[in-house]
């Protein structure tokens, strides 16, 4: 179902023009509306809706990478990026020369940090 302009604007304002996941500022026209809980799931009870509570402002990159996955699967995907890159020869050269630095850390999404500030 198409999302109304009013809802789209409300989604954009949820995090003051930031992507809910990576936290980068996004222009309104570049924002993609992500379904926090995917619209389709194996278990019908896991399906998300078009309610504003289930809609998140997202940059194209995060929305594309999250696809129709749950937040925790998306978090695992982000956390495993260095593992995926270690097979790349150029990445290995960058590590050896020190111009590629790994920074292992827990993945915390922007909206989670924003919610912590509210508490």
Binding region for Zn ion (CB under 5 A): 19, 21-22, 59, 62
Q: Which residues contact 40 (CB under 8 A, 6 or more apart)?
A: 47, 68
Which residue shows structure tokens 């604007």?
Answer: 9
Cα separation values, 113 from 20, 75, 104, 116, Å: 10, 14, 18, 5
Alpha carbon distance 119, 27 (integer Å): 27
Q: How far is the CB of 25 from Zn ion (least distance, A)?
A: 10
3 state DSSP class of 15: coil
User: Which residue, 79 or 93, has its beta carbon nearer to Zn ion?
Assistant: 79
Least distance (Å) between residue 53 CB and Zn ion: 19
Nearer to Zn ion, 7 or 32 (CB): 32
Least gap, CB of 68 to Zn ion (angstroms): 16
Whether 18 contacts 110, CB under 8 Å: yes
Write down the least CB distance from residue 93 to Zn ion, Å. Answer: 28
* Closest CB to Zn ion among residues 11, 59: 59
Which residue, 65 or 91, is less far from Zn ion as judged by CB?
Answer: 65
Cα–Cα nearest to 22, from 53, 55, 65: 65
């Amino acid at each position: 179902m198409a999302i109304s302009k009013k809802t789209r604007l409300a989604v954009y304002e949820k995090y003051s023009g930031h992507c809910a996941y990576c936290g980068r500022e996004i222009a309104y026209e570049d924002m993609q509306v992500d379904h926090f809980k995917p619209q389709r799931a194996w278990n019908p009870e896991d399906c998300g809706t078009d309610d504003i509570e289930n809609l998140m402002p997202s940059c194209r990159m995060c929305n594309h990478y999250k696809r129709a996955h749950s937040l925790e699967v998306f978090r695992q995907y982000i956390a495993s990026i260095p593992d995926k890159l270690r097979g790349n020869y150029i990445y290995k050269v960058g590590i050896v020369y020190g111009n590629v630095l790994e920074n292992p850390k827990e993945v915390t999404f922007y909206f989670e940090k924003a919610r912590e500030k509210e508490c």
